[in-house]
Amino acid sequence: MVDSRWVVALLLTCVSLVGCSERVEEFGGPTMGSHYSVKYLRGSDGPALAEAQAATEGILAEVDQQLSTYRSDSLISRFNALPAHSCQPMPESLLALVRFGEQLSLQSAGAFDLTLEPLLNLWGFGPQSRGEQVPSAEQLAEARERVGHRHLHIDGQQLCKDVALMVDFNSIAAGYAVERISARLAQLGVSSYLVEVTGELKAKGRKGDGSAWRVAIEAPLDDQQVAQTILTLDGEGISTSGDYHNYFERDGRRYSHTLDPQTAAPITHGLAQVSVVDASVQRADGLSTLLMVLGPERGLAFAEREGIKALFVTRGAHGFVSQRSSAFQRWLVKGEQP
């Protein structure tokens, strides 16, 4: 799975080894077509690095085997290959993700949709795409017949479809993985950590010197990585969605990888990036995609109505313009963030 969203994680370890009874352990590696990293404070009874890494990579391997649309033997790829009016037994964890996606879809009047893969493939952003292209009206009409949560339902422990649709969890898979890893670290006795998967991350606790975990949101620039905003997290996660890493251009027009389910086409508004802070990184992951689809005006209205902590960055005539939801602003003030 490939994720175009990026968040730069900044870590400050113990400034002195003298008197530090705990130390920061760190490991990482490739995952989902990108990278993951884990940093945690290991106490005297905390897990050794090898144990924490094995637990983390076991979770990532399971998520890949269940949710990846880039491997033909995954559970969701086998489901996607089935014809219309088919069902397939699924683990409860996967069914819970489908329910979560449906909830976001209903909440946003369809702005969030886990069944967009036929359209993603047409535009050149999906796992079965044949290159970037602008589809014809006829191609889009045919693909739209196979898109929509109304065609997807759960029957007991089976996932079923009424049409030959395909499910794509890329908009929540990384956040889900972060939540799984964070929960496992807590089970192993870790109370302070920073977990990041393809840019989605969560932090909890304090480091050995008593300082907080600090993360930087990358500015939405095409050709460089620049920290735009630095935040302090404790028990919360952050997800950032943007159109600046994954797009193509045709005849002077920019086509983003973020598709609007209502138009079956890439978004055309000026929103370049949106970041969401939430106790659940899975929820933040889905909401950042949802708000990116809605755009600056409708997205901000949605965030205000639902009490979402969101930071919007819009392309203006003279550069980027940032706007915070009320919940995000209150969170900054409460935590005395910069």
> With a threshold of 0.95, does the pTM exceed it?
no
Helix or strand (DSSP H, E) at 232: strand 227-233
Residue 134 CB coordination number (10 Å): 16
CA torsion, ordered 107, 112, 118, 122, to nearest 10 deg:
140
Q: Provide the residue ranges of all domains of the chain, joining segments of one domain with +.
A: 69-161
Return the axis-axis angle of helices 281-306 and 326-334, rounded to nearest 10°: 110
Residue 80 has pLDDT above 60, yes or no: yes
CA distance 119 to 259: 8
What pLDDT score was predicted for residue 2? 38
CA distance 321 to 338: 18
**Of 71-75, 79-83, 129-133, 304-308, which range is least confident?**
129-133
- 149 DSSP assignment: G
In this prediction, what percent of the chain has a pLDDT beyond 90? 70
**Of 217-231, 237-251, 309-323, which range is least confident?**
217-231
> By three-state DSSP, how is residue 195 classified?
strand
Residue 156 has pLDDT above 90, yes or no: yes
CATH number of this structure's domain 69-161:
1.10.3980.10
What pLDDT score was predicted for residue 220? 67
Residue 14 has pLDDT above 60, yes or no: no
Mean pLDDT of 49-60: 98
Q: Which amino acid is at 61?
A: A
CA distance 256 to 258: 5
CA distance 77 to 145: 19
What pLDDT score was predicted for residue 218? 72
What pLDDT score was predicted for residue 19? 35
What pLDDT score was predicted for residue 21? 53
Which residues on neighbouring strands pair with residue 250, listed in sequence order? 253
* pLDDT tens readout for residues 114-153: 999 999 999 988 888 878 889 999 999 999 999 999 999 9
What pLDDT score was predicted for residue 250? 83
Which residues on neighbouring strands pair with residue 39, listed in sequence order? 26, 194
* pLDDT tens readout for residues 85-118: 999 999 999 999 999 999 999 999 999 999 999 9
What pLDDT score was predicted for residue 191? 95
Mean pLDDT of 230-258: 85
Mean pLDDT of 149-162: 97
Residue 190 has pLDDT above 90, yes or no: yes
